[in-house]
Structure 1
């Protein structure tokens, strides 16, 4: 099972967003945002909700996301 951080990173990459953009939207440094993606910090529900909102999905969809089911354009 993928960690939440990996799911967030994959969703960010699919939407072609940068860590810097995400961090700015969340009101944190890029360094701290990177720690979320690497699973180095515990993520609060409110931050998880903000991230899901940025992706245009709900928290349940974010948590159940499986990048193995994504087809990439070549």
Structure 2
């Protein structure tokens, strides 16, 4: 069996990981990962890079693994670069969250102002409707009064016409 595959298995065991965990983190099925550890599947550079990420070490350290060894400069550099990358991602995410929060606050403030404007407009329109109803009521009263006056004038004309005939 090839030494690289034995090293991959030894590293996995030293890290306390199961085949399933490593397989999931590398996008493989557990069966394919098991075949990889047995040397039945050829390991590619891309797969070694994925394993290096999962194991938290460099590809060179995987290839040169001889059991539990002290952390080497390459591992420190690799981990330092990962930390810096994560810090940059964290800063970007915080900035994005802050921008989205600001947009949400502006939207809520705008919505609140718009709602208040609409409520005030509705109040104004209700007042106008009430005023129109009152005017219509007054107009109706005037028309009723004019109708009564006309009826009274008609009776008066009728009475005068009867008097003239007598």
What TM-score results when the alignment is normalised by the length of structure 2? Answer: 0.39
CA distance in 1, matches of 2:54, 2:23: 11
User: What residue is the counterpart of 1:8 in the other structure?
Assistant: 8
Total equivalences in the alignment: 68
Instruction: Give unmatched runs, 5+ long, in structure 1.
Output: none
**Residue 20 of structure 1, CA deviation:** 0.2
Structure number with greater Rg is: 2
Runs of 4+ in structure 1 over 3 Å off: none
CA RMSD for the aligned pairs?
1.4
Instruction: Give unmatched runs, 5+ long, in structure 2.
Output: 70-166
User: What residue is the counterpart of 1:44 in the other structure?
Assistant: 44
Residue aligned with 2:28, SS: coil
**Residue 53 of structure 1, CA deviation:** 1.2
**Residue 40 of structure 1, CA deviation:** 0.7
Larger helix percent:
2
What TM-score results when the alignment is normalised by the length of structure 1? Answer: 0.85
Q: Looking at both structures, which has the greater relative contact order when contacts are Cα pairs under 8 Å and sequence separation is at least 6?
A: 1
User: What residue is the counterpart of 2:55 in the other structure?
Assistant: 55
